[in-house]
């Protein structure tokens, strides 16, 4: 892993995860926090790069907008790329087997009702089972979701994360979302930068590595990323460090 991270540049394309990267984790996936500084940071980066900034998150696109809606409408990929908004504002929803997911939703809701501490997040096209409030139930949560996969067949995959296990449509990940963005203006022709902290972000790291861009892991742990930042505060500091040159 390389040690010296170059300063941000205005001719790069930025792909940014949210939770654990731009936002600190909280016990529940839905509370709104004070994001005024983050919105200002993203607005400045958006201006400096001519709009070549995209949020690439496991959150639903509507949730991303709820958190960051007081600013420019950023390009974004939600639910690991299942839904994607390009820089012009056009939204694409990739198809999925809604009937199969509904049956899985019912089974998970029943299990969550019997296990205090588990939180089921219904994102529309994917289901996330959070156990941050009850880490002792992590093994149970993973077994529960894995047990659903044989019934769903090849159309769905499991995506593990920090204190969460998710059931999502197959064929979509953050790397695929980055690839789609990089084919479009204003991202096309730029060096790609992907910053993330979780297992799901490894798809983004490997994709950006193949493109010869910058892959940046937030926090500890094994990774394909070629650079590392210590925590969310370090991400903000690094992004803001380029403002003098960018703006």
Catalytic residues: 17
Contacts 24+ apart (CB under 8 A), 232-238: 232/20, 232/21, 232/22, 232/23, 232/24, 235/21, 235/22, 235/195, 236/22, 236/37, 236/38, 236/41, 238/5, 238/8
User: Tokens standing for 96?
Assistant: 């999925």
The strand ranges marked E within the chain are 12-16, 53-56, 75-78, 83-85, 91-93, 119-122, 127-130, 156-161, 164-169, 191-196, 214-218, 227-229
């Amino acid at each position: 892993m390389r040690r010296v991270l170059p300063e941000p540049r205005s001719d790069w394309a930025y792909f940014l995860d949210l939770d654990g990267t731009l936002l600190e984790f909280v016990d529940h996936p839905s509370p709104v926090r004070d994001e005024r500084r983050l919105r200002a940071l993203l607005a400045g980066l958006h201006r400096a790069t001519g709009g070549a900034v995209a949020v690439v998150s496991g959150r639903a696109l509507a949730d991303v907008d709820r958190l960051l809606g007081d600013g420019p409408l950023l390009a974004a990929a939600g639910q690991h790329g299942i839904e994607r908004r390009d820089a012009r504002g056009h939204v694409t929803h990739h198809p999925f087997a809604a009937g199969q997911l509904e049956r899985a939703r019912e089974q998970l809701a029943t299990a969550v009702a019997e296990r205090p501490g588990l939180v089921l997040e219904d994102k529309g096209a994917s289901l996330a089972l959070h156990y941050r409030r009850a880490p002792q139930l992590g093994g149970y949560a993973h077994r529960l979701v894995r047990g659903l996969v044989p019934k769903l067949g090849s159309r769905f995959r499991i995506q593990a994360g920090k204190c969460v296990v998710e059931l999502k449509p197959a064929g979509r990940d953050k790397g695929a979302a980055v690839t789609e963005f990089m084919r479009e203006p204003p991202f096309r022709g730029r060096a790609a930068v992907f910053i993330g902290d979780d297992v799901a972000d490894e798809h983004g790291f490997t994709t950006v590595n193949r493109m010869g861009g910058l892959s940046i892991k937030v926090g500890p742990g094994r990774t394909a990323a070629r650079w590392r930042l210590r925590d969310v505060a370090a991400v903000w500091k690094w992004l803001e460090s380029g403002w003098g040159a960018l703006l």
